[in-house]
Amino acid sequence: MAVGIFDSGLGGLTVMNAVQARLPDVAFTYLGDNAHAPYGVRDMDDVYELTRAGVARLWEDGCNLVVLACNTASAAALRRMQEAGVPEGKRVLGVFVPMIEALTERRWGDNSPPRQVSVQHVALFATPATVRSRAFQRELAFRAIGVDVETQACGGVVDAIEEGDMILAEALVRSHVDALKRKMPNPQAAVLGCTHYPLIEAAFQDALGPDVKLYSQANLVADSLADYLARHPDMVGEGQGLRHLTTGDPARVSDRATQFLRRAVTFQAA
């Protein structure tokens, strides 16, 4: 029984890398819905249906626990799936909460009332769909008060990354950071609210400047998953290793993944 990692495309590989390094004795199955990427420009109902289908595919494959390594999927589908009910013995988790817990200086499972935190001015860079959902602000409000959040929908960035055009992606990052700074000239922290963005994290940091603390998700999610599995050992099956599945063309997706991760990655048809 493997732990499933679901993403709209290639961005979740940043999370996959981190969780496998953190949990080398756990078996993982990664599913990228590359045939329908990017999710960030789709409407919420469409993202929900695609995410639900992807998670069901991983459940059918024997993954009792599935992590949505996609902010857009987490924003559009996680709460709806949990409220609708998941099959007995199955679980689905998202990527927002670990990052917000780090931002608000909370330990895992701290359910105390929201309180003042040291970071008061936060920039959120995310896909258009994630920004529209306001899921980040909703989850933040459960844990902190008085935090000013300015959002910037980063149209085109995921498309450029998925196409392997990193020059265009970096140029778009600079443009989006400039637009954010016109609304919030001096953010204290910046949240990369898309798992594709760590692939161009250096471009965000360079455009924001060294005084802005950057919150990226991969290692935070890996630490939170390790904590969750320690508390729920029944979610960890036997075996090791990693499988990569895709709804897209396996050869093309393998080439892109190998380019991004700078090591050989082989995808199979889902």
**DSSP string across 187-245:** -SEEEEESTTGGGGHHHHHHHH-TTSEEE-SHHHHHHHHHHHHHH-GGG--S---EEEE
Tokens of 90: 């199955």
For 3, phi then psi, to 5°, come to: -90, 130
CA nearest to 224, candidates 11, 60, 68, 8: 68
CA 85 from centroid of its chain's CA atoms: 22
pLDDT of residue 261: 87
Tokens of 174: 């600079």
The pLDDT tens digits of the residues spanning 87-115 come to: 999 999 999 888 888 888 887 667 789 99
**Amino acid at the residue 187:** P
Average pLDDT across the chain, whole number? 93
Distance CA 119, CA 124 (A): 13
Q: Domains, the chain, ranges and CATH?
A: 3-94+218-269 (3.40.50.1860), 97-215 (3.40.50.1860)
Distance CA 133, CA 223 (A): 26
pLDDT of residue 110: 78
- Name the band, by pLDDT with cuts 50, 70 and 90, for residue 241: confident
Average pLDDT, stretch 185-198?
Answer: 95
pTM of this prediction?
0.90
- Give the catalytic positions in this structure: 70, 194
The pLDDT tens digits of the residues spanning 192-230 come to: 999 999 989 999 999 999 999 999 889 999 999 999 999
pLDDT of residue 262: 86
pLDDT of residue 109: 67
Pairing mode, if any, of strands 121-126 and 189-193?
parallel
- Please give the helix or strand (H or E) that residue 123 lies within, else none: strand 121-126
Q: Which residue has the tokens 């455009």?
A: 207
